[in-house]
């Protein structure tokens, strides 16, 4: 079910693993363009048509009403409410600790003053996946950092259920997190609405949140005119293990992530052929039980995208991790803490067998919206930083301009942009 191979060339082997997902994304980007264009041209009517076509739901209006929010709270249990609030507290604590370190700065130097400060972006659209599962946790991961940053308008969209409603837990979580508007719209048409704006849905400054391959492609497509957080596509998990690792726990972790969707990307890298065999056997034995929830999705995902990569040496395995740049990396090996210091590119590194990704997805205080498709090389998880803009204000004096004039002269002359210097020189010639 899960393919096993020997790593012979780290870059080529990682490229082969990534090729399928990259080519699929390229195809999707071409296909989403027509949907985005139709939403731009026909607005709400296009959204209704696509919602009926893709979600099998006919809607007159998209916005969730106050009454629907009230009903949602009546449909959830006290324990569920407590869980949502507890996760919110953990996330708020982590995000606030980051924001508190972002002090405003003023630098003055011989007649020139530069002020740098952080301002919240005006509005954000949060994509909450739906369909085959409900993602209450994603509501928290998107909205809590935005609220801590001070974003005034927080918009959520999510595909409606077959009865035209949104899952009550999702609505309750959104209300607790301070959502401004919630719309029953998903997929490419939802992303297009956030980016372009319609009669019902005003456009936003930035779009955040994970989604399937179509949503990821749509975010990439509209990123030419609206900011996005990252390429946060189908879930990725890589587990680094050695001969002493618990093969059953590894198998359970692979299965737990594979249940997200049939395009989940899950694998193991190890320097132990024995461990590789044990993990493969554990996965097969666990999935022999037909009563396992979502087993059809798990099997399809692991068959298409699951792998065990065997390296001859530990340093090759670490190179493999850094080249793959997985969304989630679990270090389930001896000396995990020391090895974690050698990891440069994972979206999130989880150290030791008591730090499973299935827990970090919810209750560790870390954010589970993470870079995929290799973008872990250049950025980390969604955070309060994604909702803040660094603002720079510069105030110069004649004395300051005189001081830098010779440098401007030299550089503008070298670049052949003589009018730049003239604009400076003219000011210094006036009284």
What domains can be seen in the chain, in order of their start residue?
A: 27-230 (3.40.50.1980), 234-379 (3.40.50.1980), 397-429 (no CATH)
Write down the catalytic residue from 38, 95, 181, 328: 328
Query: What per-residue string of b and e applies to 79-89 under the rule 16 or more CB within 10 Å gives b?
Result: eeeebbeebbe
R_g over Cα of the chain: 25
- The pLDDT value given to residue 211: 87
Tell which phi-psi region holds residue 247, choosing left (phi > 0), alpha (psi between -120 and 50) or beta: alpha
Nearest 5°: CA angle at 310, between 308 and 312? 170
Q: Which pLDDT belongs to residue 43?
A: 97
User: What is the per-residue pLDDT for 131?
Assistant: 67
**Per-residue pLDDT tens digits of the chain, which is 431 residues long:** 799 999 999 999 999 998 766 666 677 887 899 999 999 999 999 999 999 999 999 999 999 999 999 999 999 999 999 999 999 999 999 999 999 999 999 999 989 999 999 999 999 999 999 866 678 999 999 999 999 999 999 999 999 999 999 999 999 999 999 999 999 999 999 999 999 999 999 999 999 999 888 898 999 999 999 999 998 878 999 999 999 999 999 999 999 999 988 889 999 999 999 999 999 999 999 999 888 999 999 999 999 999 999 999 999 999 999 999 999 999 999 999 999 999 999 999 999 999 999 999 998 999 999 999 899 999 999 999 999 999 999 999 999 999 999 999 999 999 999 999 999 999 998 76
CA distances from residue 312 to 236, 273, 316 in whole angstroms, order as listed:
24, 9, 7
Given the residues 260, 282, 327, 368, the one annotated as active site:
327
Across the chain, which distance is largest between two alpha carbons, in Å? 88
* The two structure tokens encoding residue 159: 């595909």
Concerning whether 327 is annotated as a catalytic residue, the answer is yes
Decide if 415 is catalytic. no
Enter the tokens of residue 358: 């299935």
Given a contact cutoff of 8 angstroms between Cβ atoms, the answer to whether 227 and 205 are in contact is yes
Q: Rounded to whole angstroms, how far apart are CA atoms 173 and 158?
A: 13
Q: What angle do CA 137, 143, 147 make, to 5 degrees?
A: 145
């Amino acid at each position: 079910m899960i393919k096993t191979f020997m790593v012979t060339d780290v870059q080529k082997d990682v490229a082969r693993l990534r090729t399928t997902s990259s080519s699929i994304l390229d195809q999707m980007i071409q296909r989403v363009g027509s949907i985005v264009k139709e939403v731009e041209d026909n607005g709400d009517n296009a959204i209704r048509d696509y919602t009926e076509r893709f979600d099998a739901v006919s809607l007159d209006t998209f916005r969730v009403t106050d009454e629907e929010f009230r009903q949602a709270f009546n449909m959830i249990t006290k324990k569920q409410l407590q869980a949502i609030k507890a996760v919110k507290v953990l996330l708020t604590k982590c995000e606030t600790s980051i924001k508190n370190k972002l002090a405003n700065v003023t630098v003055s130097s011989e007649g020139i003053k530069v002020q740098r400060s952080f301002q919240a972006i005006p509005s954000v659209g949060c994509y909450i996946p739906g369909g085959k599962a409900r993602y209450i946790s994603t509501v928290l991961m998107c909205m809590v950092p935005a609220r801590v940053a001070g974003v005034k308008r927080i918009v959520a969209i999510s595909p409606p259920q077959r009865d035209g409603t949104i899952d009550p837990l999702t609505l309750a979580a959104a209300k607790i997190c301070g959502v401004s508007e919630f719309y029953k719209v998903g997929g490419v048409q939802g992303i297009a609405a956030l980016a372009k704006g319609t009669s019902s849905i005003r456009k936003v400054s930035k779009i955040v949140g994970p989604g399937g391959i179509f949503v990821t492609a749509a975010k990439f497509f509209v990123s030419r005119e609206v900011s996005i957080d990252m390429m946060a596509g189908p879930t990725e998990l890589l587990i680094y293990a050695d001969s002493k690792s618990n093969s059953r726990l590894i198998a359970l972790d692979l299965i737990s992530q594979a249940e997200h969707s049939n395009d989940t990307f899950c694998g193991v890298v190890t320097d132990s052929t024995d461990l590789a065999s044990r993990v493969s056997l554990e996965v097969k034995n666990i999935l022999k039980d037909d009563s396992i929830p979502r087993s059809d999705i798990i099997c399809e995902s692991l068959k298409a995208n699951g792998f065990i990569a065997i390296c001859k040496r530990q340093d090759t395995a670490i190179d493999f991790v850094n080249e793959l740049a997985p969304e989630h990396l679990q270090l389930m090996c001896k000396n995990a803490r020391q090895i974690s210091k050698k990891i440069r590119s994972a979206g999130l590194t989880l150290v030791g067998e008591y730090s499973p990704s299935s827990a970090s997805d919810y209750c560790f205080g870390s954010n589970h919206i993470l870079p995929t498709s290799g973008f872990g090389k250049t950025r980390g998880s969604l955070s309060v930083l994604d909702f803040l803009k660094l603002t720079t204000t510069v105030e110069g004096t004649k004395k300051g301009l005189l001081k830098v004039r010779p440098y401007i002269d030299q550089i503008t002359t070298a670049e052949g942009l003589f009018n730049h210097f003239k604009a400076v020189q003219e000011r210094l010639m006036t009284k």
